[in-house]
């Protein structure tokens, strides 16, 4: 994680909350958010195909 320390520091310095829960996202919102992300037209442009389960896991990690 040493490479991420400057990113986390920058986020802190400019006031970007570190977790989704810090901006009001409820844990029970995660499935709907993941489905919306999967349905987003931009998702198709990702270099790696993501499943709904991948996105749910990502949101849980960020929560």
* Span 21-50, pLDDT tens digits: 999 999 999 999 999 999 999 988 889 999
For the record, the structure tokens of 54 come out as: 């991948």
Give yes or no for residue 56 having a pLDDT over 80.
yes
Name the pTM for this structure. Answer: 0.80
Average pLDDT, rounded, for the chain: 94
2 HSE (CA, 13 A, CB side): 0
pLDDT (0 to 100) of residue 54 = 96
Say if CB 28 and CB 35 are below 8 A apart.
no
pLDDT (0 to 100) of residue 40 = 95
pLDDT (0 to 100) of residue 30 = 98
Q: Which residue has the tokens 């993941």?
A: 34
């Amino acid at each position: 994680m040493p490479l991420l320390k400057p990113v986390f520091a920058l986020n802190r310095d400019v006031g970007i909350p570190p977790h989704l829960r810090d901006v009001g996202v409820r844990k029970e919102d995660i499935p709907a958010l993941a489905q919306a992300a999967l349905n987003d037209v931009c998702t198709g442009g990702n270099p790696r195909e993501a499943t709904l389960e991948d996105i749910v896991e990502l949101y849980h990690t960020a929560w």
